[in-house]
Every structure is written in structure tokens, then in C-alpha cells.
Amino acid sequence: MSHRPRARELGIAIGTLPTGRYNAITDVEGVLVGHVTLIEGDGPLAPGVGPIRTGVTAILPHPGDVFREKVVACVHRINGFGEVTNSEQVKEMGVIETPILLTGTQNVPRVADAVLDWAFARDAEMGVTTWGPGPVVAECSDQYLSDVRGRHVRAEHVIQAIESASGGPVAEGGVGGGTGMSCCEFKGGIGTSSRLIPQEAGGFTVGALVMSNFGRREHLIIDGVPVGRELKDWSPPPSQIHPDRLGSSIIIVLATDAPCDPRQLERLCVRAGAGLARAGGLYSTSSGDFAIAFSTANRVPHLPEASVLHYRQMAEALQLGQDWPATPAINHLFQAAMEATEEAILNSMFAAETMVGRDGHTRHAIPIEEVQQIMRKYGHALEAQRQ
């Protein structure tokens, strides 16, 4: 776990909805997260050898058999210069049937292959009497800090991330898939946050986990404050400016216990894009920006025993004159997705520590004291909170 403070510990509280106990995606009951972090070597790049600054993160929608008990899901493209494996199958069928894995771009085939190894070892009927699973692996490029030709994430790392996944607090910053990631020219990586919607609207939870790897420093916005423009002394030297600095990517994973169908989950993903924009994301032409969302409310059996299944589903409109809340409950989910995504991005940066990678490339940790000074300059009181 990082020893650096999260946004709320600095007094930066995004939005108005309350957070869950851990202010993490794991506040959605049953969701588990695991990381494996690979950091080896220093100095000049030796292609295929190192230095290594990469890893893998696993998100399990529930602790059971996700292949036999699938979750309703969707994949949403914000800007499509990237990859989410089996996204077309998820869009077509509306379910996810494996853990969700996040990693560096060139690791994707090996990670997907390892998920199949793990799944086949657990279920002898896969590929024999029934079809095999479609692994969902999403990526961002960690090439600025890491050797990528070596594709250093191996099957044992993937299996370790899956099998070590747990609930409770989630490690953030330069861990797991976020090990070699950059955000707004500072160190980025994994971040998470959650929101609770009012009890009268269902009392549901929305959690977000991001792998942040996007943006320019001058575009960084924190709770409406143009912090990036004020941090004038923190740009990398010209020799370390990557030619693709306008691009890069983010993966956003949303989880909720609200009974949303795939179309409604995609509507949440659209609002996650708004959270990205509020933090300074521009959806650049070479950005791979994707949101993956799932609901734990309804499990879909792999082989249903009936031809018709019955599920709960969120309502999206209210009849005038009824004694219901003035706002449809799904609007609270939209707000929750936006707020949790924005705060997860900030947590990915605040938790991350300075990292030196290949060829001496350096991503500094965002300077906390300077950020606090800038926030106060713009009128923020910064009253520290527990999370």
C-alpha cells in the first residue's frame, strides 16, 4: 500500500454523494481486486530484457465461478485507439464471464492466454461439453518507463493476481497494471473510489477503478481548479517528452449492485467519460479510452434451466403525481459514476510515488504541498476526511 495520502485525506472531496466504507470498487459487495507488480533493473533500455516497470491487476466481479454465473456487463468505447479483448462478445451477449485484467499493451496476448489456462484448470468441461470463456483484458502503454519487447507479465503473475484478489482497501498508484503508467506527465496508475446513492433511491453502490495513463500537465483539473497550469516547474525536460505525449489512455472499470441491464450500464459508462473530462482528459486521437461496467445484482447462469429468465431492472422514468423521489434513481447512478471516476483518477496520482524507468525516464509524484497551496489559492478550505 502507498503511504501517500488519498484525495480526501488532503481535504479534496469530489462531488456531493457519500463514499462507501473503503472508498473503493470493493465497496460493491463481492468485488475483489488483486495486483502483481514487476519492478526490475535500472539504466538504459535493453530491448527484451529491461528495465521492467509493468504488472497486472485483476478485478473479480464476485468470489464465485464467473463463467458459470456470469454478470451483466458492457464495454464502452470513449476513444478507440486501444484494446479490450472480447469486447464484441460482451456487447453482443451483455455479460462478462471471466475476471477483468488490466496490464501493459504488449502483455495482452499473454495475459489472455493465462486467463484461459486458469479457467481450464478450474473447469474440466470447458471446451469439451461446453464452450470456453472469453477473457476480458484491457491495456494502456507503459513504454515510457518499461521495456515492452520482453512482455514480462507471465502466466504465473496473472494467476497470482487473480487468486490473491481480495476485498477491503485497494492498493493504488504504481502497482499492478498501473506500475508503468503516467498521468498528466506525473506518475499515474491504479486509483479507485466509490459512491452511495440515497436509500430512498435504492441505497445502491457504484465503484470505479481506473488505470490512468493519459493527459498533459497543463490540462490537469482537480475539483474544478486548473492545478496543472499552476504547476509550472514540473514539466519533464525536452529529452524526456515522449512523441505520443498527446495520446495515451485510461481504462475505467465500474461496478454496481444496482440491477442495471447492459444498455443502462453503458449509460453509466458515458457518465464515467464525464468524470474523465472533469479531471482533464481530452479523448485524444491516439488515446485508448475504454469503460467496462458490470452489475452484481443479477447473475446469469451459463446453462439456464428455463427458456425465460426473470430479473429486476432499474426504472428510468417516474410517473407524475406518484409519491416517489423527485429524481429517478438512475440519475443518482449517473452522478455516482461520474464522481467516482473523477476521484479515482486523482487517487491514482496522489497515491503514486516517483518512478525512474528505462533510459532514466522519470515520472515524478504529483507534489502534494504545491497542490494544497494551489487549491487554497482558489478558495478551497481542504478539511481532511478519513478516506
Is the separation of the CB atoms in 120 and 130 below 8 Å? no
The most distant pair of C-alpha atoms in the chain lies apart, rounded to whole Å, by: 69
- 289: annotated active-site residue: yes
- 117: annotated active-site residue: no
Spatial separation of the C-alpha atoms in residues 26 and 163, rounded to whole Å: 16
Q: What is each CA distance from 284 to 82, 167, 349, in whole angstroms?
A: 12, 34, 20
249, 284, 295, 348: the active-site residue: 249
* 127 phi, psi to nearest 5 deg: 75, 5
Cis (ω within 30 of 0) for the bond into 51?
yes
Q: 113-120 long-range contacts, Cβ below 8 Å, gap at least 24?
A: 113/155, 114/154, 114/155, 114/157, 114/158, 114/159, 115/158, 115/162, 117/155, 117/159, 118/158, 118/159, 118/162, 119/67
212, 287, 295, 348: the active-site residue: 287
What does the block give as the cell for 349?
496520482
27, 142, 147, 289: the active-site residue: 289
Spatial separation of the C-alpha atoms in residues 339 and 336, rounded to whole Å: 5
Residue with C-alpha cell 428455463?
306
Is the separation of the CB atoms in 140 and 179 below 8 Å? no
Residue with C-alpha cell 509493468?
54
Which DSSP string corresponds to 107-142? GHHHHHHHHHHHHHHH-TTBTTTBPPP--EEEEE--
Instruction: Tell me which residues are annotated as active site.
Output: 249, 287, 289
